[in-house]
Every structure is written in C-alpha cells, then in structure tokens.
Amino acid sequence: MDIDYVIRKDEPHAITEESTQVAVALYERWERSNRLNVMFIKTKVTADIHSSVDQHENVRDLLKVIDDQFVTSKKALANTLIRKFSSHPLTDVKGVREHIMKMCDISTELKKLKVYMSKSFLVH
C-alpha cells in the first residue's frame, strides 16, 4: 500500500471520458492515498489547530497549514523565552547559582529556536 504516494507524486489530471485505464488507475491511487492521509492527519492534530485543518482536503495543503502553525508557535515560544530572560528577577530563585542556571536554560532553548542575543543585550 502506497500511503505516501500522494506526497511523492503530483496530483494527476482529473478523470475525463477520454482518460485511459492507466490514467484512471493512477488518479484513483493518488486519490485514495490523499484521502487516507488527510483522515489520519485530522485524527492526530491537536485541538488548537483543528479549526484551520478541517477546511483542507489535499494532504499537501494540509501539511503546509500545519507547518505554518508551528512556525507561529515557535515565534510565540521565542517571544515568551525572551521575556522570561529579560525580566526574570534574582529574587524568584534561591540563589545566584540557580539564577545563572535558569538563564543558561532559557538561552539554550532560544539557541534551539535559532534566536541569538547580542552581548550588549545580555549585559543590560
């Protein structure tokens, strides 16, 4: 079963009366793969993005929408981490060492998101 067929191959032309048996078979194979992938993805997505996912019936469009949602989520996470980094007071932790470790953890998370802070930002 070629479940990834729809991802590997472009959508074939729509079936017409002049379509050959081979063209009909390819279209039906692509359509079945598309339908199964869309159903599977829709059952696995979180409720947060379910409303934007419901309107798509093509798996490539669906994957693009999901990818766009994660880009937005990464930007929001980066924004949250920057705010935590810049406003985390020393009094919230038990000592200087814990504060430094917390700042290092936030900095590591920001680096994973490819957000780099200048040295002048870190000093101020």
Task: Give the start-to-end residue ranges of the domains of the chain.
Answer: 1-44, 56-124
Gap between the terminal Cα atoms of the chain: 59
The DSSP secondary-structure symbol of 15 reads: P
What are the DSSP calls for 60-73, one per residue?
HHHHHHHHHHHHHH
Closest alpha carbon to 45 in 59, 32, 29, 27: 59
Contact assessment for residue 42 and residue 17, using Cβ atoms and an 8 Å cutoff: no
Percent of the chain with pLDDT over 90: 16
pLDDT of 93 reads 60
The reported pTM is 0.59
Contact assessment for residue 37 and residue 7, using Cβ atoms and an 8 Å cutoff: yes
Q: How confident is the model at residue 4 (pLDDT cuts 50, 70, 90)?
A: confident
pLDDT of 36 reads 92
